[in-house]
Amino acid sequence: MTYTPQVKTAYCPPLALTEEGIRLSGLSPSRHRSGGYIMATLRTLRKLCQHTHHQACSLHLSASRQEAVVISGRKLARQIRDEARADVEEWVSAGNRRPHLSVVLVGDNPASHSYVLNKTRAAADVGISSETILKPSSISEEELLELIDKLNTDHRVDGLLVQLPLPEHIDERRICNAVCPDKDVDGFHVVNVGRMCLDQSTMLPATPWGVWEIIKRTGIPTLGKNVLVAGRSKNVGMPIAMLLHTDGRHERPGGDATVTISHRYTPKEQLRQHTKIADIIVAAAGIPNLITADMIKEGAAVIDVGINRIQDPLTGKNKLVGDVDFEGVRKKASYITPVPGGVGPMTVAMLMKNTIKAAKNLLLTPPERVRMVASS
């Protein structure tokens, strides 16, 4: 929340008690019998004037400063899902097949199952048909690749994603690159990553795209601003930095910001130096309380992408927190996203947008090209 200080004019001594006032009134400090006293009084009043002015500023700012606007990711996600629902209905009304999303879920990771359930529920909400293909954690890499190849060539499948993380014996990069780029709604295929880095229209990774939409739809300015991205993962931190620093005039417009990326080897004091001058901080390192109030400047916008499960010291139960000390930072920032309820819902909403985009792209893509790209 922005604010404009309106500082009241501090008290200044009357004209006769200033050097110029003494001269204009005909009183000479050297000749007037009270000159020494007047000059001493003048010096005292000047100091008092400066002190009063400083206190007036401080008191006014502290009285006017309000807590940060808490950005509701849920509210923004509902807005985007409404747009997606209208888009789907228009697409179907025009005689096209309803978009279809296939999700491959390997293993029994509770968090992964929860995430996939949220995605399929969102798909149903906006009118996208979906299926979840469950596979045991013992599945071999070759068996998983065969399944992906089958889904790549299935004309009924518009969007395809393999839920991460995968078991340790499976190469995640190889799996991501096996998904046809035109069906890659996660935006993880090397072709889509490359197009994003070249500012070309493509499937953007859902979480970075969600962060970008939060910033844009909230009206947080990025042009020429200093941004600190804490975290350099190839699926979150790096794409966020790409979206924020690239040219706003290109095919895939960027934020025209000056972006600094920190990571696990960035010394804490050096991180503090960068956060202190940042207009926007995006925390995506997976470290609870990485960003605290003493590290940010007044009025900074703080986007918390972190998802950390910690034990509540009061209840002893597990709870979800981000990378930011929410209660402390909200008293100093202008905008802040909560965890949960911030970036998470936006990730799912952007995934729906990508699925619709995939359906439209595949209508214009010959099946032969899909097979060729998938096998490259």
Residue 283's contacts (CB-CB under 8 Å, 6 or more residues apart) are 230, 231, 290, 291, 302, 303, 304, 305, 306, 322, 323, 324
**Number of other CB atoms surrounding residue 294 within 10 Å:** 12
Select which of 119, 183, 353, 357 is catalytic.
119
Give the number of C-alpha atoms closer than 13 A to the C-alpha of residue 303, restricted to the C-beta side.
33
Q: Which two tokens stand for residue 225?
A: 């601003």
Select which of 87, 158, 184, 186 is catalytic.
186
Pairing of β 69-70 and β 129-135: unpaired
Q: Which two tokens stand for residue 47?
A: 């100091």
CB 328 within 8 A of CB 292: yes
Residue 108 bears catalytic tag: no
Q: Specify which residues 226 forms β-bridges with.
A: 258
Helices of type H across 219-366: 237-245, 268-276, 326-329, 343-363
CA dist 345 and 207 (Å) reads 9
Which burial class, exposed, middle or buried, applies to 272 when counting CB atoms under 10 A from its CB (0-12, 13-18, 19+)?
middle
Q: Is the dihedral of CA 204, 208, 210, 216 positive or negative?
A: negative
Select which of 87, 158, 163, 182 is catalytic.
163
Residue 186 bears catalytic tag: yes
Residue 135 bears catalytic tag: no
Give the catalytic positions in this structure. Answer: 119, 163, 186
